């Protein structure tokens, strides 16, 4: 009798787990197309690959837990196959084509629209202070794959600061006021986070849109 009860229980568990695993995800599927560069970049900034911003946007969407985001490798595979026969920037039509091939409901594409630096000097409690600030601005569009229309557009801003403290006569220096790789990418990461999670970011507005569609 105990064996029979155990067998029935295990069968029910396997059946239930199979139903759960087979159930489709309720989260909308989103794909993030590599961003471009449409910015006048300050000459003391070295930026070889603007697509890093799309990686930050990808991470922000994944970490939100609100979307099923197409894996990077799958995206690269499809884009490699399709871009060979495509030239020019990604527009609403081509983005929708990528989205259909990826099985995505939405496509996010955009660009870095600003990347600049500003240097300041001052004095605090007898110490000289030199700062180098990097300002980053990104713009993006969210395209509905089924219709090919842009139904959401947004911007994100970010900045990062390097600070150097100088003792009198500049004998001792702490920190740096030089623009470096980490500083540039920190500003870009903040801009991407603002684009997704800011007060008027994609996450908040996409959730509102999804709720309206369900009502």
Question: What pLDDT is stored for residue 207 in this prediction?
Answer: 76
DSSP state, 18? H
Cβ pair 188, 182 in contact under 8 A: no
Taking the model in full, what pTM does it have?
A: 0.75
Looking at the chain, the number of H-run helices and the number of E-run strands are: 6, 7
- Map out the domains of the chain with their CATH numbers: 25-214 (3.40.50.10610)
What is the secondary structure of 115-148 as a DSSP string? EEEEEEEEEETTEEEEEEEEEEEEEEEEEETTTT
Cβ pair 35, 107 in contact under 8 A: no
Can you give the pLDDT of all 215 residues of the chain as single tens digits?
444 443 444 443 333 344 333 334 578 899 998 888 887 676 667 666 667 899 999 999 999 888 899 998 888 888 777 654 454 556 677 777 888 888 999 999 999 998 888 888 776 656 778 888 989 999 999 999 988 888 889 999 999 988 887 776 556 667 776 778 888 889 999 999 999 999 888 888 877 776 776 66
């Amino acid at each position: 009798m105990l064996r029979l009860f155990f067998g029935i229980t295990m069968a029910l568990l396997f059946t239930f787990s199979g139903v759960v695993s087979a159930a489709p995800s309720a989260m909308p599927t989103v794909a993030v197309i590599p961003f471009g560069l449409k910015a006048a970049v300050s000459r003391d900034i070295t930026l070889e690959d603007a697509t890093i911003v799309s990686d930050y946007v990808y991470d922000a969407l994944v970490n939100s837990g609100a979307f099923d985001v197409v894996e990077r490798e799958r995206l690269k595979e499809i884009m490699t196959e399709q871009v060979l026969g495509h030239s020019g920037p990604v527009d609403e039509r081509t983005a929708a084509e990528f989205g259909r091939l990826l099985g995505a409901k939405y496509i996010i594409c955009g660009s870095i629209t600003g990347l600049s630096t500003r240097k300041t000097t001052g004095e605090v409690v007898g110490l000289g202070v030199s700062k180098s600030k990097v300002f980053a601005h990104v713009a993006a569009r969210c395209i509905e794959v089924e219709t090919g229309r842009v139904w959401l557009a947004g911007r994100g801003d970010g900045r990062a600061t390097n600070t150097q403290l100088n003792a009198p006569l500049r004998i001792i220096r702490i920190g740096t006021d030089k623009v470096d790789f980490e500083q540039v990418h920190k500003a870009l990461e903040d801009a991407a986070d603002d684009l997704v999670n800011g007060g008027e970011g994609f996450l908040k507005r996409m959730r509102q849109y999804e709720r309206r569609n369900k009502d």
